[in-house]
Structure 1
Amino acid sequence: MVKGYLKDRMLAWAVFLFFYAALFLIGYLYDIPMEKVFYIAEFTLAGAFLCFLVDVTKYAGRWKELKRRIETMDTCSGTFYTSPGAMDALYRQLIEKMAHEKEEVLYEDGLKYNDMMDYYGMWAHQIKTPIAAMRILLQSGRESEVEKIDRKLYDSLQMELFKTEQYVEMVLSYLRIGDISKDMVLTNCDLGKVVRQAVKKYSRLFILQKLSLELGEIKETVLTDEKWLSFVVEQILSNALKYTKKGKIAIYMKDSDHLVIEDTGIGISSEDLPRIMEKGYTGYNGRKDKKSTGIGLYLCKKVMDKLNHGIQISSQPDKGTKVTLDLGRRELDVE
């Protein structure tokens, strides 16, 4: 602040020093007694010092107020520090007008965003109806009719319909993730139950893709939200099935706090690993086969962070991927 003040008042101080020196010069040229000159100089200096104190106080107040608003991004609450200058008043009016317009734009954007979220939420729920109808039609088909249309085609339809259902569920999860705290209930959860339900849900894909499953003994109980943890496990399992053409998928406990889901799929390149949980990032494999949305792992990371859990991924191309879910509870910062 000191440097800023000296820079802003440099001209005023230069003018003051000029006239202060001129006072002594005039006294010398006109033979005015030096006692009178010093008396006038002391009186002038005292007045200048009082003006200096008032000016510094006001300047410091304005400086602190502006710094506070910059640090807190506060442009609208209250009014700016008052200044007697007409030019400063115009600047203040301009800033307040811009801040008001900014608030209006943010408010309108908020309304548009809420409308968009409501629309997609409604769409995601409504699309479930025709999907459920197609599921019922496929399941109600007689065996003889299935043989007529081609078993492989029938299985492909079942698989694609299942994938469509999962994408719809992902959309709903994406819509809810921004306000997950209101939808979170922490309980002591049977981890084995969560894993078995996920495996059961994807059992048909295991069969259709002819993949083996190695399911270790999982008896642990963790403090978490069962629904959201299930979403993460299902998403990781879905990715493993999507990128594993042959071999197996193993699910086991590394220790009491770490659940591992490991596959023998195509793997992830070392260049892509640091960014695979970024929103919208698909990586080389995702761009190659056009299957990746770049949303699944991003949602998993967001959910695990909200649950105060951790997630780590290691992989080697053409050898497989290992996803480790750290289900231990880290200390939470109380705000």
Structure 2
Amino acid sequence: MIGKYFAERISWITFYIFLHLFIIFVAFLDSAIPLKPILYIVFLSLILFSIFLIFRYKKETFFYKSLEAREDNLDITNIAGPESPFEKIIENSIINQTELLKQSASIGRMTLEQEKDELLSWIHEVKTPLTAMHLMIDRLDDDLLKSHLTYEWLRIHLLLDQQLHQRRMPFIENDLYIENADLEIIIFDEIKTLQSWCIQKGIGFDIQLDVTEVLSDAKWLAFIMRQILTNSIKYSENADITINSYIQDEQTILEVKDSGRGIDPKDLPRIFDKGFTSTTNHRDNAATGMGLYLTKNAAASLLITIDVKSELGVGTIMTLTFPKRNEFVNITSM
């Protein structure tokens, strides 16, 4: 701050020094003016000026130090009171701008909340005819047509479900209910939903659950499994998907292994990034790049760690490591 203060006052200091040098120069040229007394006066003046600068530094920088130390938020209560008319102008400007930003942020939040509610309402409205459509498809006699329509219905269902959870994600803490969730029920329910797609692609399941119960939120855990299974099915063909659960270091581990095309090593660090789609098949316009992003966020809220191992042409292993029971203290106390 000292350097900034002197940089701000450099023109005044320069003018002051120049003025005294000018007085000495005039006294030097004019023999009628005694030089030694002038030098003495200039010396005393410089000492007084230095003391004045030190005193004014503390007084003039107090307001600006409080601005510099202020956190980057809309709280302006910690700003020191202005000491000069210029500082008062700055304070008024900051207060006015902060109020405008608060109003704008409040309006933005209200608009966003309204849009979220409208979209959620729309999604729930769409689910009604979608359910009716599924019942109609089930009554079809043409197995080939039935299979194709069921697949397209499933795609719409999964996209709507993903959009629904995406809108709920910012408020997931308010939606969590930690309980003993049955892994077997969750996994088999998701497989049943994806059954028509699996039959179409010739995909089976090899399931070995040594642990069938975990402490988690059943609804959000089902969403996580849905996204992982959807990815495994999407990139697999005529192969089994293996699902295992076991205990390791007092923690439950759930593995989902497929024999699909695998993930390029350069893509692995980015697969959970928002909007990222594979560089292997970059022209896949159907990919939204949101599934694994939402999965990672939901898992983080449930204290579940997701690890991925993959090899091109061999397959992918998704490993979910569930937290120990005592790690849920913070969540269950909400």
Using structure 2 for the length normalisation, give the TM-score.
Answer: 0.82
Task: Give the counterpart of 2:160 among 162, 165, 168.
Answer: 168
Structure 1 segment 108-119 matched on structure 2, within 5 A: 108-119=107-118
Shift of 1:295: 1.0
Question: Equivalent residue for 1:294?
Answer: 289
When residues 320 and 45 of structure 1 are mapped into structure 2, their CA distance, relative to the original with a 3 A threshold, is: same
What RMSD in Å do the two structures reach over aligned CA positions? 3.3
Residue of structure 1 equivalent to 2:73 = 73
Q: Which segment is superposed worse, 88-97 or 277-286? A: 88-97
Call closer, same or farther: CA 1:208–1:191 in 2, change over 3 Å: same
Amino acid at match of 1:155: S
1:246 counterpart (235, 238, 247): 238
Please report how far the alpha carbon of residue 31 of structure 1 lies from its aligned counterpart in structure 2 after TM superposition.
Answer: 4.5
Alignment of 1:151-230 (within 5 A): 151-219=143-211, 221-230=213-222
TM-aligned CA distance change 1:33 to 1:297, over 3 Å: closer
Task: Structure 2 unaligned segments of length 5 or more: list them.
Answer: none
CA deviation after TM superposition for structure 1 residue 251, in Å: 0.5
Matched, 1:272 2:244: no
Contact 1:286 1:292 (8 Å CA) reproduced? no
How far apart are 1:177 and its partner, in Å?
Answer: 0.3
Provide the residue aligned with 2:318 in structure 1: 323
Offset from partner CA, 1:21-55 (integer Å, 9 cap, x none): 67888699645996x9868965x567545533431
Number of equivalent positions: 323
Distance in 1 (CA, whole Å) between partners of 2:32 and 2:113 is 80
Structure 2 counterpart of 1:245, which letter?
Answer: E
- Three-state SS of the structure 2 residue aligned to 1:214 is strand
Measured against aligned partners, the alpha-carbon deviations of 1:68-91 in whole angstroms (never above 9, x if no partner) come to: 23x4234755767514244x5545
Of 245-254 and 71-80, deviating more is 71-80
2:256 aligned residue = 261
Superposed displacement of residue 203, structure 1:
3.3
Counterpart amino acid of 1:3?
Answer: G
Return the alpha-carbon distance in structure 2 between the equivalents of residues 288 and 314 of structure 1.
24
For residue 84 of structure 1, what is the amino acid of its counterpart?
S
Is 1:313–2:308 an aligned residue pair? yes
Identify which range, 174-183 or 188-197, moves more after superposition. 188-197
1:99-138 matched pairs, under 5 angstroms: 99-138=98-137
- 2 CA distance for matches of 1:306 and 1:200? 26
Q: 1:33 to 1:204 in 2, by over 3 A?
A: closer
Q: Is the 2:67–2:79 contact (alpha carbons within 8 Å) kept by the matching residues of 1? A: no
With over 3 angstroms needed to count, the CA separation of the structure-2 counterparts of 1:40 and 1:153, relative to structure 1, is closer
Q: Percent of pairs identical after alignment?
A: 24
Structure 1 runs not aligned, ≥5 long: none
Contact between 1:310 and 1:327, CA under 8 Å: does it hold in 2?
yes
Aligned-partner Cα distance in 2 for 1:21–1:332: 75
Counterpart code for 2:146: Y
- Give the TM-score of the pair, scaled to structure 1: 0.82
Q: Distance in 1 between matches of 2:160 and 2:75?
A: 41
Partner of 1:54: 55
